[in-house]
């Protein structure tokens, strides 16, 4: 039995796919995008305990059962070499939600971009949570972090959710090779795919990985009928990059696939990202202009948000 | 007579509001309808409340005429022939509305407007029909100046319903209140989505659980006033309330409350209702001579008495010694379970009491979760609602409502305030309503934060009108003053907004 490591569950979300959906945010991501607006979901907690000392509510404590995994300052554990260990994870820090007031002191304290406020859940436990929201929703969306990082857990929990009569959409950063995983593809309704940048150098600077696999996924998922939507974030000081990305994505998209151009907003972005991208919101006019461009290139279902 | 002078000199009252206040004052000079000493004692202790219905009832509290008679037979008393086109139909309705009494002296039910008007609307050019309906709504807002004036549409789709919702959005009027009788099996999805869209922009229509009401009342039911379920061609004689928090102060324990205190106060409320109903039927002239009765627009046997209550949450919290409402009823399984025990007990008591002149409801009164009045302050939340400020995330709030709404055939409801982003996604709101109605919710109201027209506890007011009263000026709407009271004393406009992160589930 696998354990999912989950940052949070939003019972009713109107912004994570079509209709009203329960959104599950998995902890841990293989990219480190500079514009990430919830960077505390990027890494797994290493149990350094700095947050335990700072928590004003005593809602956090060390989990003696986990033992400590010493990590050099500035480095993070558990992410080297692809997917993290899923065999027997226990939380290094125990979090008591009933004491927590969501002041986020722990997140501000953490040097590892890892929230200690996560839940370790079995597939059955997550299914039981979703059973309560099931009467009111159109489906479930798995987001993150990067949910495909916990692929084996997805394989356990998605069939249980489908038994509730609900479909599952994955929100992915595009770095998972969906073509190589027909089993996963068979049990999901579709993928909401990020296309972060087209220019290889810019993409690497921005995310830590190149654009090749996300674009390959776009083509493949579209062919397979599993491309629910594509999202691109537009940055305030990079109009040429924005246009290059939108052109590359839009020219490949079929007219019916929804293409969302999300204007960058600085909220939640870490200092490193603010230094590179700035503290401004991308102008609405640029969003409208690029959405029109995308529509003219064939992605007729393009909108800016 | 200083009381009369006070009314006459009040700068915030319109002429019509002064007239009604003076009528109330005049009514209060007669004391021939008397109750027991225990009743008055309970009323003085605030455990019982008569909602200022007046001591000498000269009409039933709520009257829901069968307006279709006006279109098939006309009205002899008003010398109206059945209308031949939309203009005549609307004119006839406005004339009849003027003669429908109620506790507020304004009609609390305007009819199922789509069913009544659709044949006429379909005969007209759409733009012309819209023009006439717009004038009709404007006239209602400016002459039936009371937010308890209520119209119904649905469950089927109709051009009339669509036009009324379009106009409601364009005109942003507080009056009339509007309900969509909603049945997912009958109401087309696109029509329901239009209603959601209209609700987010204007705080109306609300969604009534059509299937649930039909099971209790049959097809010919009305949603009147705030959210009151009643028979068409009938209505409600009276609506007094138990203030359950104040009732609970007399109890030594939970069992004492259920065994002794609750039956004691329920009996006193029965005494009030029985005497009042008999008086209205036997003594006052309404059921003997009013043309609505003699011409069959209402039938006496279709009326019932509404047994009201407020403050279930505070009652449960007090009995269990819970001081923080955020840890009480609706958020604490023990307190919520006690709420169900109290409601089961109260249902038994109401079911065991033979009520005079209530043929259509099996000679029994029917429970009503009253929406509260401004003088309740923060001691008694409306009906069985979770107190404002303590509401949990929407999923949990719905789950609590679903347990309590089935107890109240004569009405209950809850209100959900949405964040702006939901306006762009009505298709995300509808499944919430649909899911909750399927699980026992009776009545769903919603609005968007920052609207001018807002739902206070069950009725609609404009924030800008409350501001007028606060500044010592007049407001045309008789209900604005209640909205001001509920805002000032009950924090009614500060209810929880459904934000993304507030639905977070630990």
pLDDT tens digits along B372-390: 888 887 889 999 999 999 9
The pLDDT value recorded for residue B457 is 74
Contact B432 A20 (CB under 8 A): yes
Report how far residue B213's alpha carbon sits from residue B210's, in angstroms, rounded to the nearest whole number: 5
**Strand A168-172 vs strand A190-194: parallel, antiparallel, or unpaired?**
parallel
- Per the model's pLDDT, the better-predicted residue between B499 and B371 turns out to be B371
Q: Can you tell me the mean pLDDT for B336-351? A: 98
Q: What was the pLDDT predicted at B498?
A: 66
| Consecutive H or E run containing B369 | strand B366-369
CB pairs under 8 A between A and B: 67
- Per-residue pLDDT, averaged over B417-445, amounts to 95
pLDDT at A67 > cutoff 80:
no
CA distance A297 to B371: 55
Q: What is the tens place of the pLDDT at every residue in B226-249?
A: 999 999 999 999 999 999 999 999
Number of domains in chain B: 2
For residue B322, tell me if it sits in a domain: yes
For residue B489, is pLDDT > 90?
A: no
Q: Hey, what are B127's tokens? A: 């733009």
Measured in angstroms, the CA of B435 and the nearest CA of chain A are apart by 5
Chain B residues with CB-CB distance to A119 below 8 A: 506
Per mean pLDDT, which range of A157-166, B116-125, B194-203, B448-457 is the poorest? B448-457
Is the Cβ pair A19, B398 closer than 8 Å?
no
Whether residue B2 has pLDDT greater than 90: no
Q: Which residue in the set A98, A129, A137 is minimally distant from B431, CB to CB? A: A137
Ranking A6-20, B55-69, B286-300, B472-486 by mean pLDDT, the lowest is B472-486
A120 Cβ under 8 Å from any chain B Cβ: no
**pLDDT reported for residue A69:** 52
User: What is the pLDDT at residue B501?
Assistant: 47
Six token digits for residue A297: 């290139």
- Establish if B216 belongs to a structural domain: no
Residues forming beta bridges with residue B269, ordered by sequence position: none
Report A:7-36 residues touching B (Cβ under 8 A). Answer: 8-15, 18-21
- B438 and A8 within 8 Å at the Cβ level: the answer is no
How is residue B27 written in tokens?
Answer: 């009514």
* Beta carbons of B393 and A15 less than 8 Å apart: no
Q: What is the CA radius of gyration of chain B?
A: 22
d(CA B495, CA B390): 9
Verify whether the Cβ–Cβ distance A136 to B421 is below 8 Å: no
- Tokens 């998972």 sit at which residue? A176
Mean residue pLDDT across chain B? 94
Confidence of residue B133 (pLDDT cuts 50, 70, 90): very high
Residue of chain B whose alpha carbon sits nearest to that of A100: B506
Which segment of A20-29, B124-133, B412-421 scores lowest on mean pLDDT? B412-421
pLDDT, averaged across chain A: 91
**DSSP string covering B149-197, please?**
-EEEE-SS--HHHHHHHHHHHHH----SEEEEEE-TTTS-HHHHHHHHH
| Contact across the interface for B421 and A18, Cβ inside 8 Å | no
- Binning pLDDT at 50, 70 and 90, where does residue A85 land? very low
Residue A108 has pLDDT above 60, yes or no: yes
Q: What number of other Cβ atoms are within 10 A of residue B409's Cβ? A: 22
Together in a domain, B21 and B55: no
Residue that is last in its domain, among B342, B365, B391? B391
Q: Which helix (H) or strand (E) holds A304?
A: strand A302-304
Residues B277, B330 within the same domain: yes
Reported ipTM: 0.88
A96 CB near a chain B CB, below 8 Å? no
> Per the domain annotation, does B335 fall within a domain?
yes
Cα dihedral B383/B385/B387/B391 (nearest 10): -170
Other beta carbons within 10 Å of B66: 20
Residue A91 has pLDDT above 70, yes or no: yes
Answer yes or no: do B249 and B274 share one domain. yes
List, as ranges, residues 123-162 from A with C-beta within 8 Å of B. Answer: 129, 132-133, 135-138
Q: What is the pLDDT of residue B1?
A: 55
* Residue bearing tokens 């009725």: B459
Q: Is A97 on the interface with B (CB under 8 A)?
A: yes
Token pair belonging to B337: 């379970």
Closest Cα in chain A to B420: A14
- Taking only the tens place, the pLDDT of each residue in A185-201 is 999 999 999 999 999 99
> Which range marks the domain in which residue B21 is found?
1-30
Across the interface, do A100 and B438 touch by the CB < 8 Å criterion?
Answer: no
Name the residue with tokens 């031949």.
B84
Does B122 lie at the interface with A, CB-CB under 8 angstroms?
no
Contact B109, B63 (CB under 8 A): yes
Q: Mean pLDDT across the stretch B309-329? A: 97
Tokens for B251?
């109890």
The answer to whether the peptide bond before residue B60 is cis (omega within 30 degrees of 0) is no
Picking from B31, B46, B9, the residue whose alpha carbon sits closest to that of residue B373 is B46
- Residue B328, domain member (yes or no): yes
- DSSP secondary structure code for residue B416 in this structure: E
**Smallest Cα–Cα separation from B405: which of B374, B436, B364?**
B436
Q: How many helices (H) and strands (E) does chain B have?
A: 21, 18
**What pLDDT does B502 receive?**
44
Closest Cα in chain B, distance from residue A202 (Å) = 32
Helix (H, G, I), strand (E, B) or coil at B290: coil
Quote the pLDDT of residue B279. Answer: 97
CB B293 within 8 A of CB B77: no
Please report whether residue B347 resides in a domain: yes
Which among B113, B171, B108, B106 has a CA at the least distance from the CA of B144? Answer: B106
Q: Per the CB < 8 Å rule, is B395 touching A8?
A: no
Q: What is the pLDDT of residue B495?
A: 75
Q: Look at residues B337, B364, B391 and tell me which one is the last residue of a structural domain.
A: B391
Question: CA of A72, closest CA in chain B: separation in Å?
Answer: 31
**Which of the residue ranges A13-17, A98-102, B76-80 has the most confident prediction, judged by mean pLDDT?**
B76-80
For the stretch B5-63, pLDDT in tens is: 999 999 999 999 999 999 999 999 998 899 999 999 999 999 999 999 999 999 999 99
Does residue A75 carry a pLDDT above 50?
Answer: no
Would the CB atoms of B422 and A14 count as touching at under 8 Å? Answer: yes
* Whole-number pLDDT of residue A68: 52
pLDDT for B463 equals 82
A278 torsion bin: left (phi>0), alpha (psi -120 to 50), beta (else)? left
Residue-wise pLDDT tens digits, B432-484? 999 999 999 999 999 887 778 777 777 778 888 888 888 888 888 878 888 87
- Helix H or strand E segment including B453: strand B453-455
Count CB-CB contacts under 10 A for residue A87: 8
Q: What is the pLDDT of residues B175-192, one digit of tens each?
A: 999 999 999 999 999 999
Q: What share of chain A is helix, strand, coil (3-state, %, to 5)?
A: 35, 20, 45
């Amino acid at each position: 039995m696998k354990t999912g490591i989950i940052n949070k569950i939003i019972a009713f979300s109107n912004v994570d796919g079509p209709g009203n959906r329960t959104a599950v945010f998995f902890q841990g991501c293989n990219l480190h995008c500079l514009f990430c607006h919830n960077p505390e979901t990027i890494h797994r907690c290493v149990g350094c305990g700095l947050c335990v000392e700072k928590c004003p509510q005593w809602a956090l404590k060390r989990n003696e059962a986990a033992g400590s995994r010493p990590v050099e300052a500035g480095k993070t554990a558990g992410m080297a070499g692809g997917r993290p260990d899923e065999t027997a994870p226990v939380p290094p820090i125990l979090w008591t939600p009933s004491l927590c007031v969501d002041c986020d002191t722990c997140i501000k304290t953490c040097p590892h971009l890892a929230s200690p406020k996560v839940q370790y859940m079995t597939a059955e436990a997550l299914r039981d949570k979703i059973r309560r929201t099931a009467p009111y929703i159109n489906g479930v969306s798995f987001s993150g972090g990067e949910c495909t990082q916990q692929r084996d857990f997805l394989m356990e929990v998605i069939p249980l959710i489908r038994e509730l009569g609900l479909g599952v959409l994955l929100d992915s950063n595009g770095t998972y090779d969906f073509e190589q995983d027909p089993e996963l593809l068979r049990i999901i309704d579709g993928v909401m795919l990020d296309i972060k940048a087209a220019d290889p150098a810019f993409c690497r600077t921005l995310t830590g990985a190149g654009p090749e696999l996300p674009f390959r996924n776009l083509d493949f998922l579209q062919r397979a009928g599993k491309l629910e939507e594509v999202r691109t974030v537009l940055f305030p000081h990079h109009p040429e990059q924005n246009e290059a990305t939108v052109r590359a994505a839009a020219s490949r998209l079929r007219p019916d696939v929804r293409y969302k151009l999300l204007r960058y907003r600085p909220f939640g972005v870490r200092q490193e990202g603010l230094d590179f991208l700035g503290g401004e919101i991308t102008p609405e006019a640029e969003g409208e202009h690029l959405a029109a461009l995308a529509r003219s290139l064939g992605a007729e279902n393009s909108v800016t948000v | 007579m200083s009381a009369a002078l006070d009314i006459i000199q009040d700068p915030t009252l319109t002429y019509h509001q002064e007239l009604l206040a003076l009528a109330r004052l005049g009514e209060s000079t007669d004391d021939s309808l008397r109750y027991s000493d225990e009743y008055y004692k309970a009323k003085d202790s605030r455990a019982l409340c008569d909602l200022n219905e007046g001591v000498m009832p000269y009409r039933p509290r709520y009257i829901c005429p069968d307006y279709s008679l006006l279109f098939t037979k006309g009205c002899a008393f008003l010398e109206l022939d059945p209308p031949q086109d939309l203009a005549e139909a609307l004119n006839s309705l406005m004339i009849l509305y003027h003669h429908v009494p109620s506790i507020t002296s304004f009609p609390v039910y305007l009819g199922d407007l789509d069913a009544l008007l659709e044949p006429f609307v379909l005969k007209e050019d759409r733009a012309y029909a819209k023009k006439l309906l717009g004038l009709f709504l404007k006239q209602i807002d400016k002459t039936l100046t009371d937010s308890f004036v209520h119209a119904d549409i649905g469950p089927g789709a109709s051009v009339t319903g669509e036009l009324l919702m379009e106009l409601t959005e364009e005109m942003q009027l507080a009056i009339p209140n509007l309900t969509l009788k909603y049945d997912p099996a009958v109401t087309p999805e696109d029509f329901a989505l239009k209603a959601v869209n209209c609700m987010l922009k204007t705080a109306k229509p609300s969604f009534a659980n059509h299937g649930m009401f039909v099971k209790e009342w049959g097809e010919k039911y009305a949603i009147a006033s705030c959210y009151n379920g009643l028979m068409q061609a009938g209505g409600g004689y009276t609506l007094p309330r138990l203030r359950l928090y104040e009732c609970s102060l007399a109890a030594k324990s939970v069992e004492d409350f259920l065994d002794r205190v609750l039956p004691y106060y329920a009996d006193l409320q029965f005494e009030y209702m029985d005497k009042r109903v008999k008086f209205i039927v036997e003594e006052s002239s309404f059921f003997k001579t009013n043309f609505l009765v003699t011409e069959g627009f209402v039938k006496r046997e279709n009326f019932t008495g509404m047994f009201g209550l407020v403050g279930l949450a505070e009652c449960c919290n007090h009995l269990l010694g819970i001081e923080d409402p955020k840890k009480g009823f609706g958020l604490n399984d023990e307190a919520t379970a006690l709420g169900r025990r109290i409601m089961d007990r109260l249902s038994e008591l109401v079911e065991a009491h033979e009520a005079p002149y209530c043929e259509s409801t099996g000679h029994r009164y029917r429970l009503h979760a009253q929406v509260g009045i401004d003088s309740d302050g923060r001691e008694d939340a409306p009906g069985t609602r979770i107190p404002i400020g303590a509401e949990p995330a929407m999923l949990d709030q719905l789950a609590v409502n679903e347990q309590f709404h089935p107890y109240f055939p004569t009405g209950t409801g809850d209100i959900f305030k949405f964040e702006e982003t939901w306006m762009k996604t009505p298709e995300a709101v509808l499944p919430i309503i649909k899911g909750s109605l399927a699980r026992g919710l009776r009545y769903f109201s919603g609005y968007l934060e920052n609207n001018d027209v807002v739902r206070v506890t069950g009725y609609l007011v404009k924030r800008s009108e409350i501001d007028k009263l606060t500044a010592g000026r007049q407001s045309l709407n008789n209900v604005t003053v209640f909205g001001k009271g509920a805002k000032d004393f009950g924090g009614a406009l500060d209810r929880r907004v459904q934000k993304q992160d507030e639905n977070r589930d630990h």
